[in-house]
A and B are shown apart, each in its own frame.
Chain A
Amino acid sequence: MSDVITTDVVIIGAGPCGLFTVFELGLLDIKCHVLDILDRPGGQCAELYPEKPIYDIPALPLVTGADLTSRLMEQAAPFKPQFHFNQMVTSLEKRGDTDFVLKTDGDLVFNCKVVVIAAGGGSFMPKKPPIPGIDAYEGKSVFYSVKKMEAFRDKDVLIVGGGDSALDWVNNLQPITNSMTLLHRRDEFRAAPDSVNKMRELVAAGKMKLAIGQVTGLGGANGILSSATVKGADGAFFDVICNTMLPFFGLTMKLGPVADWGLNLTENLIAVDTEKFETNVPGIFAVGDINTYPGKLKLILSGFHEAALMAQQAFRYINPGERLLFQYTTSSTNLQKKLGVA
């Protein structure tokens, strides 16, 4: 087992509310580790709409998802949060009276006093195409990500999709596979033009195949794929011979393991009070889109407010018996020191 990381607070989710939670806790001298299933901060702002304008952040008449994320990262930076990306929290358990133990699918283990769930719409997970019987092949010959390229050596690989993930893996895996086929529903690709050109060169050189259509069925036995049935653009069906398939249809959000942590849920959202934004388990808080309470609005600004109030109660758990003095960043030398501006 890996070494246990001991910290005040673990924040689950590095979206806007998770990042602002770092700031609010930081002002109270509370140190955080932040986990996210994505490979970068920003949550939905990074994954779903980095370039799209947001108009309802106070004092920012227009900001993109990417810009909001980088500003929040800058604002949280003085408090030196430690980020752990590509990590999904798999379990959260109480240990003793005051501690929590939290484990991730990347074998990280944390011991902390307070957990803040800022997981938005849940964990981003690969979209699984609803092809009949696909479950039987998952993990054996159908994969939604490439963990180790070597696993694909000498395989007959079918990659499905037209974005950067699909094209990048076509180009990277083609040299080591026995055969490579790219299947996409149209002969146009969203992926970066460079990758598309490279793929077209490989096709022109006879090193791989490009097929246009959509998968409708899978053939094989005992979880081992032998072919995929494809409906072509003209409506005619044909088979692609393959023993490995990698579908890349983007990501979707699922609540995931959060559902198993003994928290009261209302329609897949975590129920909290509106004073401390605490769940039914003392010491576990939920802020942002993932929580619910009477009058809840799924707005980033509401999540910011929730983070500020939650931090007060977190302070009491982490510093029992200590008095919490309310201060303003405009006038408090103490706070300004923490921010590195005094």
Chain B
Amino acid sequence: MAKITFIQHNGNEITADGIAGMTVMETAVKNQVPGIDADCGGACACATCHVYIEPDWVAKTGKRNPMEEDMLDFAFDVRDNSRLSCQIKVSDALDGLRVKVPEKQF
């Protein structure tokens, strides 16, 4: 189990229990985190689960994979710490992970 905190654009925080093996996107959807639309259901095909990883966690969540890098072309306001949350698997090492949800997924 890993606690994952989603920080909304308005500053509100939602902390959810992530289950190892699930993705950060699935954790968000399961806990009805606003702003994680996940239109394609986790196929890395829509870029509507875009999040910004908080600085302390960038190294632990790892790098974008090539498919994800391509798909981020469909996201808005992509930054160095942008990831697609469907491509981050929850593990005990990510207990305490904090990610910001963009203002809009468009």
Contact = CB atoms under 8 A, between A and B. Distances in A.
A49 B106 contact: no
Nearest to A184: B73
B73 A252 contact: no
A252 B106 contact: yes
B43 A127 contact: no
B26 to A, nearest CB: 15
Contact of A190 (B73, B77, B78, B106): B73
A207 interface: no
B78 A185 contact: yes
**Number of chain A interface residues as a range:** 20 to 34
A162 B73 contact: yes
A184 B74 CA distance: 11
Interface centre among B69, B77, B104 (most CB of A within 10 A): B77
B19 interface: no
Interface in A295-310: none
A211 to B, nearest CB: 15
Q: Is the interface of A mostly helix, strand, loop or mixed?
A: loop
Contacts, number: 49
Interface string A178-201: 000000111010100000000000
A49 B43 contact: yes
A36 B14 CA distance: 38
B104 A52 contact: no
Interface of B: 39-40, 43, 45-48, 69-70, 72-74, 76-78, 103-104, 106
29 contacts: A48-B39, A48-B46, A49-B40, A49-B43, A52-B45, A127-B74, A127-B106, A128-B106, A129-B106, A130-B106, A161-B73, A162-B73, A184-B73, A185-B72, A186-B73, A188-B69, A190-B70, A190-B73, A214-B77, A214-B78, A216-B77, A249-B73, A249-B76, A249-B106, A250-B46, A250-B74, A252-B46, A252-B48, A253-B39
